[in-house]
Structure 1
Amino acid sequence: MESERLEMRPFVEEDFTFYKTLVQNEQVMRYINGGVVLDEDKARSWFERQLDRYKDERQTGFLLLIKKETNEPIGFAGLLLQTVDGIEELEVGYWLTPIHWKVGYGREAAKRLMREAFERGHDRLISIIHPENHSSQNVARANGLQWEKDTLFNGIPVVIYSCRLSRLFRG
């Protein structure tokens, strides 16, 4: 899968080192996992969970984002099945290295994944965002998602943004 500036592909074992640079980065994790970076064992566990997600065709799991211009990994993004308030939902999510923040890569990756979800027959899509992560809320709004509710996700306060893909991609 690709967008204008990004290639997106499933993780392979050799990507674990890059994956760790994100999940062990305090800036990246500020609004994720209650702000707690992952130790080696937790990072490995989370990485293995990403690989397991590839077995369920209803989701893409996290895909490595590669900047076409330089062929460097800059983050990951994907469509993930999540349980929110007891309901299974499809979430679009993305994580980027801080040096690649605020240049539109998150928005671009999310938009391409939203199109993928629509093409796979999904209509409802959410984003689970920390209440203080205003940048991610801006990305969600720019891509056509709207605030739906405040809730808890894995015991952590979050805001849920949602959309109907058929409204965004009709015709």
Structure 2
Amino acid sequence: MESERLRMRPFSEADYPFYKTLVQNELVMRYINGGIALDDAEAQIWFERQFERYEDERQTGFLLLEKKETREAVGFAGLVLQEVDGVEELEVGYWLTPIHWKVGYGREAANRLMQEAFERGNDRLISIIHPENTSSQNVARANGLQWEKETVFKGVPVVIYSCRLSRLFRG
């Protein structure tokens, strides 16, 4: 899968060192997992979960994001099934290396994944965002998601942004 500047592909085992640098980076994890970076064992479990997600056609799992021109890894993004308030939801999410923040990669990757979700027959899509993560809330709004509610997800207060894909990608 590709967007204007990014190539998105499933992780391979060789991508684990890059993945680990993101999930163990305190800046990246500030608004994820209750603000706690993963230890080595947790990082391995989270990474292996992606391969299980790849088997489920309802989601993409997290995909490695690479710059098309250089193949430099900039982060990962994907469509992931989550349970929110007892309901299974499809979430679009992304994680970027701090040096690649504020250049539009999150918005670009999320938008392409939203199109993918629509092409796969989904209509409702959410983003689960920490209430203080205004950058991610701005990305969600820029891509047509709207604030829906506040809730608790895996023990952490969050806000849910949602959209109807049919309203964004008609015809």
Sort the TM-score into its range (normalised by shorter chain): over 0.9
Tell me the amino acid that sits aligned with residue 106 of structure 2. Answer: G
d(CA) in 1 for partners of 2:97 and 2:67?
12
d(CA) in 1 for partners of 2:137 and 2:40?
30
Q: Show CA shifts across 1:41-94 (max 9, x none).
A: 000000011111001000000000001122110000000000000000000000
Matched ranges for 1:114-129 at <5 A = 114-129=114-129
Percent of matched pairs sharing the same residue: 82
Name 1:61's counterpart in structure 2.
61
Give ranges in structure 2 of 5+ residues lacking alignment. none
Name 2:161's counterpart in structure 1.
161
Aligned length: 171
Name 1:140's counterpart in structure 2.
140
- Root-mean-square deviation (Å): 0.4
Name 1:87's counterpart in structure 2.
87
Q: Show CA shifts across 1:1-38 (max 9, x none).
A: 00000000000100000000000000000000001001
d(CA) in 1 for partners of 2:112 and 2:55?
21
Q: Show CA shifts across 1:81-108 (max 9, x none).
A: 0000000000000000000000000000
Name 2:22's counterpart in structure 1.
22
Give ranges in structure 1 of 5+ residues lacking alignment. none
Name 1:75's counterpart in structure 2.
75
Matched ranges for 1:35-46 at <5 A = 35-46=35-46
Tell me the amino acid that sits aligned with residue 30 of structure 1. Answer: R
Name 2:152's counterpart in structure 1.
152
Q: SS at 1:121's partner residue?
A: coil
Tell me the amino acid that sits aligned with residue 128 of structure 1. Answer: I
Tell me the amino acid that sits aligned with residue 143 of structure 1. Answer: N
d(CA) in 2 for partners of 1:53 and 1:160?
22
Q: CA deviation at 1:127?
A: 0.1
Tell me the amino acid that sits aligned with residue 52 of structure 2. Answer: D
d(CA) in 2 for partners of 1:37 and 1:72?
23
Q: SS at 2:93's partner residue?
A: strand
User: Does the alignment pair 1:105 with 2:131?
Assistant: no
d(CA) in 2 for partners of 1:94 and 1:14?
20
Q: TM-score, normalised by structure 1?
A: 0.99
Which structure 1 residue ranges, 4+ long, deviate > 3 Å from structure 2? none
d(CA) in 2 for partners of 1:69 and 1:24?
27
Tell me the amino acid that sits aligned with residue 5 of structure 2. Answer: R
Tell me the amino acid that sits aligned with residue 159 of structure 1. Answer: V
